[in-house]
């Protein structure tokens, strides 16, 4: 099932299918109104879930197919601060896919400002026995079908 090439965000800005626009909320900031470093990981997760939903791959689908994705490693490099009420764009990219893991990259921006970059490595566990498994064929095929959209080289920018 083909995914839409753009989706509508809360700001009425057209956002590419591999990105999510998020407004920085009070609970994501410190007393100075600066986005707390741990909140970036929540944004990465929200963007990943939204992007994979747009590609037709939901968490419910993974459970029906008998597996769950689990983060085994995560990292973030902070370049510039985000502030309360900023609209930030979180872009999701496929960095690497092996037989049993998937490495996703994240770029966080505010308009022309590049705020942060991160990575999360996912492994997959069988729901039946809780042990690691290879990337399920259906997920691998979905990611391969949309590899160009998820490419770090893709220049997907929001348009007004």
Cα torsion angle, 111, 115, 117, 120, sign: negative
CA distance 133 to 143: 17
**pLDDT truncated to tens, each residue of the chain (160 aa)?**
444 444 444 443 445 679 999 999 999 999 999 999 999 999 999 999 999 999 989 999 999 999 999 999 999 999 999 999 999 999 999 999 999 999 999 999 999 999 999 999 999 999 999 999 999 999 999 999 998 888 876 544 433 2
HSE-up of 35 (CA within 13 Å, CB side)? 27
| Residues 72-94: tens digit of each pLDDT | 999 999 999 999 999 999 999 99
Would you tell me which CATH number, out of the four given (3.40.1710.10, 3.10.129.10, 3.20.20.450, 3.40.190.10), belongs to the domain 6-145?
A: 3.10.129.10
Beta bridge partners of 118: 76, 106
pTM for the whole structure: 0.84
Tokens representing 133 are: 């498994």
Half-sphere exposure of 157 (CA within 13 A, CB side): 8
> 10 Å Cβ neighbour count for 80?
11
Sort strands 6-8 and 14-16 into parallel, antiparallel or unpaired: antiparallel
d(CA 5, CA 7): 7
Domain boundaries defined on the chain: 6-145
Write out the two tokens for 127: 């729901």
């Amino acid at each position: 099932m083909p995914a839409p090439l753009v989706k509508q965000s809360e700001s009425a800005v057209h956002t590419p299918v591999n990105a999510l626009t998020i407004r920085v909320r009070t609970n994501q900031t410190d007393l100075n109104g600066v986005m707390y470093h741990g909140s970036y990981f929540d944004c990465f997760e929200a963007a990943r879930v939204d992007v994979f939903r747009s590609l037709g791959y939901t968490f419910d689908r993974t459970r029906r197919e008998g597996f769950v994705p689990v983060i085994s490693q995560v990292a973030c490099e902070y370049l510039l601060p985000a502030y309360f009420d900023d609209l930030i764009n979180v872009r999701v990219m496929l960095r690497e896919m092996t037989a049993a893991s998937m490495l996703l990259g994240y770029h966080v921006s505010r308009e022309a400002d590049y705020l942060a970059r991160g990575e999360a490595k996912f492994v997959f566990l069988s729901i039946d026995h809780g042990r690691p498994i290879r990337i399920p064929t259906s997920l691998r095929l979905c990611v391969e079908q949309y590899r160009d959209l998820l490419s770090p080289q893709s220049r997907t920018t929001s348009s007004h």
